[in-house]
Amino acid sequence: MKVKRISLWSVDLTSHEIYYMAESKTCDTVKSHVLCLETDMGLKGWGEVCPIPHYLPAFADGVPSAITEMAPEILGTSPFGVDAAMRRLDGFLQGHLHAKSIVDMALWDLFGKATEQPLYALLGGRTNVDMPLYHSITCVAPDEMARIATEAFATGIRQFQVKLGVGVDWQADAERLIKVREAVGDGPLVYGDWNCGATKLHATRTGRAVSHLDIMLEQPCKTLEECAAVRQATGLPMKIDEGAFDLASLIHAAELGVLDAVALKLSKFGGLSAMRRARDLSVHLGAEICSECSWGSDIVTAASLHFAASTPQGALINTCDLSSYVCPRIAPDCPTRINGRIAPPEGAGLGVTPDLETLGTPILELD
């Protein structure tokens, strides 16, 4: 069984509401790419990547060029043994991990379909029947963020990511965290995320103002060393996101004492193959894992859910149903949240079927 055809689509995903982050970053309508790898046996494997602006050192419009460049190595590839195929691609084209992640995902989907196994079985076996979700709250006025948290709490959500940094006012950020914590009460996980947009001073003042509360901080500063200084000054646990992108960065974060939790994202690591290795190391280092991607719809959500379902119990902090934040839905059969939790799709491979009418006409076809 070999890959004989490559098809690529571009789909604009629009957030249900404009998403505000630190340093004047916003996420409204962004471009997602969907890949189909078809074999000579008629099986189709699907992948998706959506590198939102300001987050990854990645250019969404570069995905078609990268796929075209890698096409000679992709065509003729067997879906049996995805790690080997991805190592060949790494040797053929250095970097461009976001573009490789979409290929890796599609190959894993093919592997699952060829063996008639759900992806979580191939990623280590199912250890979680369903997984807790976190709800990400856009950085707006503190009272409005508390209202959003209250609404999400009523649906069963018990983990809340509070975006911070809009307006560069540390007191406003502290109020955001305090108001959300008050809204959801004791017990639920609440963490403030600057997406690297805070100075050490800003993050430290905010952290000290809420240090009497059960709060975690997420990647306040651009460097791991700055994050370590904030953790030491505030005494609050730390989750690393942007600063964790390969095995070396995970080890460095652990050495600095900031790897209480970590966001493992498919597009950041280059797909499921590399992220599985990162998961094993994270578990060894004692970090709790968030399984997700940078942005996207149903296909990338399905991959994240399978990864989360196969993550060892006690090592998974949460996952994210990215498709619930955007429209259109690319694969309407992808699972949705139920009482604050979500289960992976059933069926072979990813277990989701993209809607070809939603995808429209491919922007690239190679065979």
Per residue of the chain (367 residues), give pLDDT as tens. Answer: 999 999 999 999 998 777 677 776 777 788 999 999 999 999 999 999 998 877 777 788 899 999 999 999 999 999 999 999 999 999 999 999 999 999 999 999 999 999 999 999 999 999 999 999 999 999 999 999 999 999 999 999 999 999 999 988 999 999 999 999 999 999 999 999 999 999 999 999 999 999 999 999 999 999 999 999 999 999 999 999 999 999 999 999 999 999 999 999 999 999 999 999 999 999 999 999 999 999 999 999 999 999 999 999 899 999 999 999 898 999 999 999 999 999 999 999 999 999 999 999 999 999 9
List the one residue out of 152, 158, 220 whose CA is nearest residue 190: 158
Look up 163 and say whether it is catalytic: yes
CB burial of residue 346 (10 Å; 0-12, 13-18, 19+): exposed
Look up 265 and say whether it is catalytic: yes
Catalytic residue among 163, 179, 239, 268: 163
Catalytic residue among 100, 179, 239, 265: 265
Model pTM? 0.95
